Amino acid sequence: MPSTQNPPIAGTAIDPTSLRPKLDDAVVERISPSELRARLEAFKGDGYAMLLDLGAVDYLGREPRFDVVYHLLNLATHARLRVLCGINDGEHLRSVMDLWKSADWAEREVFDLFGIVFDGHADLRRIQMPNDWEGHPLRKDYPMRGNNAERSPRPAFANKSNVVAGTPPAGRTLEALQEQVRRARE
Amino acid sequence: MTQPIAPAAPDIVSRDGNTMVLSMGPQHPSTHGVLQVMLEIDGETVVKADPEIGYLHTGIEKTAEGLFWSQAQTVIERMDYLAPSSNALCYVLAVEKLLGIADRIPERAQTIRVLTMELTRIASHCVWLGTHGIDLGAISVFFYCFDLRENILDLQEAAGGARMHPNYLRVGGLNGDLPAGFIARLDALIEKFPGRMRELRGLLQANPILQDRTIDVGVLTQDEAIQWGVTGPSLRASGIAYDVRRAFPYTGYDSYDFDVPTRTQGDAYARFLVRLDEMDQSMRVVEQARRRLDVPGPVMIDDPKISLPPKETIALSMEALIHHFKLVSEGFRVPPGDVYQAIESPRGELGYYVVSNGENRPYRIRTRPPSMYNLQALKGLAPGNLIADLVVMIGSLDPVFGEVDR
């Protein structure tokens, strides 16, 4: 089980989305942040009535760093449209909450887990993580596990386990416990 | 790096002194999990409802980025814990598209996948119906439903080895063929099902208490449903016949004969009826899949780079041993690319947006959780209704919090 030991490969500055675009039945559009809002509004007018999902991907090391991904669905013709919008850390996007109500929680989640700010969102706050959480967990530079120094100390019984080698805290060795028991009996 | 600071949660405060704020949940029994709804109420009437989610957030998407493609499937199955196989199927289909092997999956594997999916749907709807019944005061329905579900879980256990998370599907096919005795038990279930459905319908469908509690409660109009991104039975109860199995067929669903039940009223009773009809339609598909199971065949793609070699060959063949070792110790690599795959899960359109950068681990897996979008519609549904009706609305939207929070 080697997997959780290795953090995910970060900093591979490739863009997989451009390599093989025709893998599924969606039409793919890449749109710059400045014209995103107007284009999405036009798509909605063209019959893409439902915003199925809004998510993000962190391509750490690429320029721009993030892709915000909109999945649109035309319910009449059953056509899918995927809109990719690359933005950098610190840049803001216009919210589409007023176009599609479904964007409400989705934008909050992207903000929470990636730290991408949506201007014009009525209630942009964390949704999955606690309000006082630091950092944005789905960023690639966010560690998979905390560092050892910050970990809470192991309970004494765990230190005595033969699986985890560690120095038992003073006074909590097996001998000391046996000594205590012996004294109590006396 | 400057990080935007999250503003503190706004308190719902009484606006004019006539309303009060009530926190419903996260340990309320009728929230079907850990949902907290901050309610502003005027007497018994809800003025504003703000669902708070995230109590069950376990970081599955982040965890999956650190696992092999095949290992990630085990955590992904834990999203929608009432229909684990539907998560697995959607993920597996996405990875197969990335690998370019989608058209090489054996016929029998596809049939068994369809069978698993529809049995899962019935089992999931059984939990929904049982708990929805309890919300409305009909306790005995729960036992009938869980008895039926138990039969399906027994089948899952026989096929995959575990009741709740069988992990039966694999990239490229299935873990193994159906075990001996499976067909006989499946036949017994097919035999039993219509009678059990008649009993359930008899208990509930014309029940005046249930009708009083659900008719004209939580009416979701077509426009609202589309605006909130509602899919699945809740959308079809509002009169839109969108079913991913029909609109974007996968796993050979276009070769099965089934109806997509719809209603136009859009209230909780319509959602109730749609799900009951869906259970019948699922059983129709199960029966058709059952007939196709008489034809034997392989259940795993014949590709040593993806599927584990048969156990008995490992001791005899050096290549098989090497393939086995490489697959277990470092998994398979998936060519770079991104793909969006959707299926019709019991709750609606479940989608995975999967990105690979050519490594043996997924670069990013973004879930489109149907429960989350369906539950979001509660914000629009609740105002103006009684608190007691809120319980009905939550139940009729059928959220699963493993999936809402991931």
Q: Specify the fold of B60-303+335-370.
A: Cytochrome-c3 Hydrogenase; chain B (1.10.645)
Site from B250, B357, B361, B374 to mutate, A interface, most A CB atoms within 10 angstroms: B357
Domain that holds residue A162: 152-185
pTM exceeds cut of 0.90: no
Site from B340, B352, B354, B374 to mutate, A interface, most A CB atoms within 10 angstroms: B340
Tell me, yes or no, whether A114 and A157 share the same domain: no
| pLDDT average, residue stretch A74-78 | 89
Tell me, yes or no, whether A36 and A85 share the same domain: yes
- Cβ distance B351 to A71 less than 8 Å, yes or no, reads yes
| pLDDT average, residue stretch A138-151 | 70
| pLDDT exceeds cutoff 70 at B14 | no
User: How confident is the model at residue B282, as a pLDDT?
Assistant: 93
Given A104, A119, A134, the domain boundary residue is A119
Tell me, yes or no, whether A98 and A167 share the same domain: no
| pLDDT average, residue stretch B249-273 | 91
| Pairwise CA distance, residues B206 & B193, whole Å | 20
Going from N- to C-terminal start, the domains of chain B cover 60-303+335-370
Residues 125-184 of chain A with CB under 8 A from chain B are 125-131, 133-138, 142, 144
Residues 300-329 of chain B with CB under 8 A from chain A are 329
Residue position matching structure tokens 């996405």: B94
User: How confident is the model at residue B95, as a pLDDT?
Assistant: 93
| pLDDT average, residue stretch B35-58 | 86
Judged by a CB distance cut-off of 8 A, whether residue B10 touches chain A is yes
Q: How far is A148 from chain B (nearest CA, A)?
A: 19
Instruction: Answer whether residue A142 is part of any domain.
Output: no
Given A73, A94, A119, the domain boundary residue is A119
Mean pLDDT, chain A, whole residue set: 78
CB B247 within 8 A of CB B360: no
Q: How many domains would you assign to chain A?
A: 2
Helix residue ranges per DSSP H, B83-230: 84-99, 107-135, 139-160, 182-204, 208-214, 222-227
Q: The domain that contains A99 carries what CATH number?
A: 3.30.460.80
User: How confident is the model at residue A150, as a pLDDT?
Assistant: 56
| pLDDT exceeds cutoff 70 at A7 | no
| pLDDT exceeds cutoff 60 at B272 | yes
Distant-in-sequence, close-in-space partners of A57: CB < 8 Å, separation ≥ 6: A66, A67, A69, B338, B355, B363, B364, B366
Burial class for A2, CB neighbours closer than 10 Å (0-12, 13-18, 19+): exposed
A36-51: pLDDT as tens digits? 889 999 999 888 989 9
Mean pLDDT, chain B, whole residue set: 87
Tell me, yes or no, whether A68 and A160 share the same domain: no
User: How confident is the model at residue A11, as a pLDDT?
Assistant: 46
User: How confident is the model at residue A106, as a pLDDT?
Assistant: 92
| Pairwise CA distance, residues B227 & B240, whole Å | 13
Instruction: Answer whether residue A140 is part of any domain.
Output: no
Residues 107-136 of chain A with CB under 8 A from chain B are 111-112, 115, 117, 123-131, 133-136
User: How confident is the model at residue B231, as a pLDDT?
Assistant: 92
Instruction: Answer whether residue A145 is part of any domain.
Output: no
Q: What is the ipTM of this complex?
A: 0.85
Cross-sheet strand order for the sheet of A26-30: A26-30, A79-87, A66-74, A50-58
What's the pLDDT band for B204 if we cut at 50, 70, 90? confident
| Pairwise CA distance, residues A181 & B368, whole Å | 58
